[in-house]
């Protein structure tokens, strides 16, 4: 056992490092943690992880940069420190400064979409990786961040029972104790099968102020779920219980899109159905389906889908930061 003394701005912190912690510290040598994130983690203050694929692949420049900055500001204004996670020049970064955020936003699709399986390759090749939900959860958990905010997560694709195209976000939720705050999954995926798969993986799925699992652009998917949260306190207690029990699995907290934006949500939903029909007619298959549909939906809705996407991410940031702030107090 080793006694470690750390000096922070206001006081001395003492840590007893057991062999388990040493393992954890060693694991962190390959990571760069931003100073404000490190400070918050040392003090047990609230931290919210944010993914970077949504910046590089989910939105065009410069809306992606503006949204990333605004989401970080919302997290700060609601009592938590934001930690956007990405791999830059082969180094996993937990928390990006403004220059790094801008670099990532400008790289766009030149940054590699990085899921769990891609991490060692991007690091070994000194590449730039924009982390998806699965990779972001992995890094968040490694440094002790338990709340993570995004827009939507991946899921079981339509006809996934034949193609086996199931996002690694779902298996990561089964193995990593991080709560992911999202607006549910897009209806271009198979939502009932996504929920079935999450159940198999042992993932607690909760909906915020509703009994229904939301479908990203709209409040409803037709799927009821058993766990309802009515406040940030409810969310924090759920995460705290999950951590104390040592279940080791994650939690999906689904926050429906706000009423102001769900109106355009129904227009977007019909555009999605049209785009899916077009994809079928044009024989667009596999990996190409999602990018085709999303680009077509943005055209068909005259940009309304992007505006709704930005609005729901900001709303999730508000809820997630409040949950993280209560959780930090519960853990003291």
How far apart, in Å, are the Cα atoms of 84 and each of 27, 144, 196, 227?
A: 19, 14, 30, 28
- The residues in 249-268 that bind ligand PSU, with binding defined as CB under 6 A, are none
Q: Rounded distance, CA 197 to CA 260, Å?
A: 31
Contact between 56 and ligand PSU by CB under 6 A: the answer reads no
DSSP result, 177-218:
--EEEE-B--TTB-HHHHHHHHHHTT-EEEEESSSB--BTTB
Q: Rounded distance, CA 276 to CA 260, Å?
A: 26
Contact 225, 208 (CB under 8 A): no
- List 7's β-bridge partners, or say none: 12
Q: Rounded distance, CA 174 to CA 172, Å?
A: 5
C-beta closer to ligand PSU: residue 45 or 172: 172
Binding partner of residue 168 among ligand PSU, Mn ion, none, CB under 5 to 8 Å per kind? ligand PSU
C-beta closer to Mn ion: residue 72 or 169: 169
Q: Going by DSSP bridges, is the β-strand pair 129-131/81-88 parallel, antiparallel, or unpaired?
A: antiparallel
Residue whose C-alpha is closest to residue 71's, from 319, 327, 318: 318
- List 252's β-bridge partners, or say none: 180, 205
C-beta closer to Mn ion: residue 66 or 163: 163
C-beta closer to ligand PSU: residue 78 or 309: 309
C-beta closer to ligand PSU: residue 163 or 270: 163
Contact between 51 and ligand PSU by CB under 6 A: the answer reads yes
Binding partner of residue 218 among ligand PSU, Mn ion, none, CB under 5 to 8 Å per kind? none
End-to-end CA distance of the chain: 23
Stretch that binds ligand PSU, among 22-30, 52-60, 231-239, 251-259 (CB under 6 A): 52-60
Q: Which residues contact 244 (CB under 8 A, 6 or more apart)?
A: none
C-beta closer to ligand PSU: residue 187 or 204: 187
Contact between 58 and ligand PSU by CB under 6 A: the answer reads yes
Q: Which residue is nearest to Mn ion (CB)?
A: 165
Contact between 167 and ligand PSU by CB under 6 A: the answer reads yes
Stretch that binds Mn ion, among 4-12, 158-166, 240-248, 278-286 (CB under 5 A): 158-166
Q: Rounded distance, CA 24 to CA 17, Å?
A: 10
Among this protein's residues, is 331 annotated catalytic? Answer: no
Among this protein's residues, is 282 annotated catalytic? Answer: no
Residue whose C-alpha is closest to residue 40's, from 178, 179, 144: 144
CB atoms closer than 10 angstroms to residue 211: 11
Binding partner of residue 53 among ligand PSU, Mn ion, none, CB under 5 to 8 Å per kind? ligand PSU
Contact between 301 and ligand PSU by CB under 6 A: the answer reads no
Which of residues 40, 41, 47, 53 is near ligand PSU by CB under 6 A? 53
Contact between 179 and ligand PSU by CB under 6 A: the answer reads no
Contact 99, 74 (CB under 8 A): no
Binding partner of residue 46 among Mn ion, ligand PSU, none, CB under 5 to 8 Å per kind? none
Q: How far is the CB of 244 from ligand PSU (least distance, A)?
A: 27
- The residues in 101-160 that bind ligand PSU, with binding defined as CB under 6 A, are 115, 132-133, 151-154
Q: How many residues bind ligand PSU (CB under 6 A)?
A: 16
Considering the candidates 72, 186, 219, 322, report the single residue annotated as catalytic: 186
- List 94's β-bridge partners, or say none: 33, 85
Q: Rounded distance, CA 228 to CA 235, Å?
A: 9
Active site residues: 51, 186
- Provide the binding-site residues for ligand PSU, judged by CB under 6 A: 51, 53-54, 58, 115, 132-133, 151-154, 167-169, 186, 216
């Amino acid at each position: 056992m080793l006694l470690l003394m750390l000096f922070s701005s206001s006081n001395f912190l003492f840590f007893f490092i057991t062999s388990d912690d040493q393992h954890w510290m060693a694991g962190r040598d390959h990571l760069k943690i931003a100073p404000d994130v490190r400070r918050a983690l040392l003090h047990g203050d609230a931290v919210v992880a944010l993914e970077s694929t949504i910046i590089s692949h989910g939105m065009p420049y410069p809306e992606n940069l503006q949204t990333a900055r605004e989401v970080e500001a919302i997290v700060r204004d609601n009592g938590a420190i934001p930690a956007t996670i990405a791999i830059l020049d082969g180094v996993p970064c937990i928390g990006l400064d403004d220059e790094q955020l801008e670099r990532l936003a400008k790289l766009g699709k030149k940054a590699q979409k990085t899921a769990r399986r891609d991490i060692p390759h991007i690091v070994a090749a000194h590449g730039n990786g924009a982390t998806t939900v699965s990779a972001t959860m992995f890094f968040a958990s490694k440094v002790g961040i338990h709340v993570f905010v995004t827009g939507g997560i991946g899921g079981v694709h339509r006809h996934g029972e034949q193609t086996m195209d199931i996002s690694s976000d779902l298996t990561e939720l089964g193995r990593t104790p991080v709560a992911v705050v999202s607006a549910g999954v897009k209806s271009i995926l198979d939502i009932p099968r996504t929920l079935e798969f999450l159940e198999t993986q042992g993932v607690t799925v909760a909906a915020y102020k509703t009994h229904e699992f939301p479908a990203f652009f709209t409040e409803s998917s037709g799927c009821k779920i058993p766990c309802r949260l009515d406040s940030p306190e409810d969310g924090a207690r759920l995460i705290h219980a999950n951590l104390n029990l040592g279940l080791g699995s994650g939690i999906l907290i689904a926050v429906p899109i706000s009423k102001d934006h769900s109106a355009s949500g129904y227009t977007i939903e019909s555009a999605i159905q049209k785009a899916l029909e077009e994809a079928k007619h044009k024989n667009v298959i596999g990996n190409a389906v999602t990018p085709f549909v999303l680009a077509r939906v943005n055209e068909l809705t005259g940009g309304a889908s992007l505006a709704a996407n930005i609005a729901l991410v900001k709303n999730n940031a508000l809820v997630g930061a409040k949950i993280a702030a209560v959780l930090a107090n519960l853990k003291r």
